[in-house]
Amino acid sequence: MKKYITTGKGLLAALLMGVAMASCSENAMDAVNNDTNHTKDAPSKFILADVLTSTAFNNIGGDFSTYTSCYIEHEVGVYNQLYNAETRSNEPSAASTFNNTWGTCYTALKNARIVIDKCSAGGSQEGNAVTKGIAEVLAAYNSALIADLFGDAPWSEAAIIDESGLPVKMTPKIDKQEDIYKGVMDYINAAITDLQGEDAHISGGVGNYDLLYKGDQEAWLKLAYGLKARYTMRLLKRSTNPTTDLNNILTYLDNSFTEVGEQAAFNVYDASNLNPLFDFQWSRDYLAASKSLAQKLIARNDPRLRREFISASWYQIKGSSDTRYRMAPNGAPQQRQYYYNTSVFTFAQTASTMFMSYHEALFLRAEALCRLNRSDEALPILKEAVVAAIANTEASVAAAMNAPTILEYGGLAETSAAITTEEAESYFDTYVKPLFTANPLQETMIQKYLAFFGASGEATECYSDVRRLKALGENFITLSNPETAKFPLRLPYGNDDTTTNPEVKAAYGNGQYVYTEPVWWAGGTK
């Protein structure tokens, strides 16, 4: 795991040791316990840099994405914890599996709320509306991750500290997922208002501490509208007026991304700050290439098949006839490393992590149009989405082929040419369009599923899509894991709270509910 923030603890320890060895008065000893080198009231821009980094690296691209990529069969777990997750043995229901990410979600939410308070009326940076709006987007994002993945969870009393920096509630109550989602939408709506304001406080705006958009409030506003479309679509099964909500989604998307350069792509990755999927696989080698995903590409004569997989000897697989072609069977692989093919994305050391991609916005628009029986309008949107998604694939392939660490070992052997825009368009016209004509919504969702396979952390969002479609009775995404009764419908709570918070402990029980109880927006009760 990479360390992005210097805490100064080592310096403080050295100070204390030096003082202990010296002859000091009682006042001097008291004074030395105060850390005068680090402010206790950090400016909002510094806090936001940490929230952005943690949200991208830990919460979007971390364990959530890694494990759910196996659940939705983008990847196959072939060793240790990921093998257990693949074979549905202990890991999907264990409170220890997601404990780290459970904690980082709440830490990010807490810090986002600190910024919101600082920039609100009476706060120390009152008047910084844009900074407040950015924090509200990030609070919404992490709140939605908590709700989407865990269902009912601590929220209204959680991730809140008092003036001394201590939690207001040590054992916060569990809130209903429905209520958390109301809070998500409140944060988004507040952000849309605040992001149209200005940063008027003397401290100024976030500037380069905004590692996503460099303080560009228009870009953040477009992201806020895109997320509002995402979360409104998420709640479709619970909608009392789906037609109105679908038309609202189109309106939100009218105010969101208009081209790929506006997408929310987090990229500070280099030779030492690693893309989280690469970081995990390089240190563990727990993942292999998914047979069921490859078969979906084969069925469509999809050109991505020749680009997305690597042999154990680091050669790019040309296709299913390649002598090195060896995909891992979903749900029943050998527990064996360096044997199966792996996805090229696990080598993509510098690939971006997506808070929200341009192609996601396009897929949401295409889906809404299909559901409104406007498939003629959806067709060109879907084509643009597929072409944009293939371009994102190629960006990640390039990141793998040029990965600094991999090049030190001789690099990957690239055996095929990159997919051009023209080839992507031809693929769509020849193979995707007929399938769309036969079933517009189904092919739209399958193409979105294929697009979210990658190094960008979009597996978590895809996992929510798979569950959402299942709840709507739309089983478009065929999964091959034989443990059909053990598809995880949610993730287990983290053991930091199952061992200390009575409400969470009672809700967790033995953890087997993850296989039987869908979350509220997927038709469940919690």
Q: What is the pLDDT of residue 37?
A: 54
Using pLDDT thresholds of 50, 70 and 90, give the confidence band for residue 165: confident
The answer as to whether 77 is a domain residue is yes
Using pLDDT thresholds of 50, 70 and 90, give the confidence band for residue 10: very low
Q: Is pLDDT of 100 > 90?
A: yes
The answer as to whether 344 is a domain residue is yes
Q: Which of 228, 258, 288 lies at the terminal end of a domain, its last residue?
A: 258
Q: Is pLDDT of 38 > 80?
A: no
Q: What is the pLDDT of residue 220?
A: 98
Using pLDDT thresholds of 50, 70 and 90, give the confidence band for residue 178: very high
Residues 241 and 377 in one domain: no
C-alpha to C-alpha distance for 368 and 33, rounded to whole angstroms: 59
Q: What is the pLDDT of residue 298?
A: 98
Q: What is the pLDDT of residue 16?
A: 32
Q: What is the pLDDT of residue 429?
A: 98
Average pLDDT value for the chain: 93
C-alpha to C-alpha distance for 62 and 75, rounded to whole angstroms: 14
The answer as to whether 516 is a domain residue is no
Q: Is pLDDT of 198 > 50?
A: yes
The answer as to whether 501 is a domain residue is no
Q: What is the mean pLDDT of residues 85-113?
A: 98
Q: Is pLDDT of 21 > 90?
A: no
Pick the more confident residue, 109 or 42: 109
Residues 106 and 224 in one domain: yes
Q: What is the mean pLDDT of residues 458-467?
A: 98
Residues 348 and 381 in one domain: yes
DSSP 516: T
Residues 429 and 321 in one domain: yes
With a CB cutoff of 8 Å and minimum separation 6, the contacts of 383 are: 425, 428, 429, 432, 433
Find tokens 């299909």 and name the residue: 370
pTM summary value: 0.92
Question: How buried is residue 322: exposed, middle or buried, by Cβ count under 10 Å (0-12/13-18/19+)?
Answer: middle
Q: What is the pLDDT of residue 74?
A: 98
Q: What is the mean pLDDT of residues 159-179?
A: 95
> Structural domain of residue 20, as residue ranges?
7-38
C-alpha to C-alpha distance for 428 and 303, rounded to whole angstroms: 10
Q: What is the mean pLDDT of residues 29-46?
A: 64
C-alpha to C-alpha distance for 48 and 206, rounded to whole angstroms: 8
Q: What is the mean pLDDT of residues 496-503?
A: 98
The answer as to whether 195 is a domain residue is yes
Q: Is pLDDT of 25 > 90?
A: no
Find tokens 């569990």 and name the residue: 174
Q: How distant, in Å, are the alpha carbons of 128, 157, 202, 218, 242 from that of 153?
A: 31, 10, 38, 32, 26
With a CB cutoff of 8 Å and minimum separation 6, the contacts of 178 are: 238, 520, 521
Question: How buried is residue 204: exposed, middle or buried, by Cβ count under 10 Å (0-12/13-18/19+)?
Answer: middle
The CATH number that applies at residue 202 is 1.25.40.390
Tell me which of 13-17, 85-89, 331-335 is least confident.
13-17
Q: What is the mean pLDDT of residues 281-287?
A: 98
Q: Which tokens hold the place of 383?
A: 């084509």
* DSSP strand pairing (153-154 vs 309-310): unpaired
C-alpha to C-alpha distance for 274 and 396, rounded to whole angstroms: 13
- In single-letter form, the type of residue at position 465 comes to D
Q: Is pLDDT of 12 > 50?
A: no
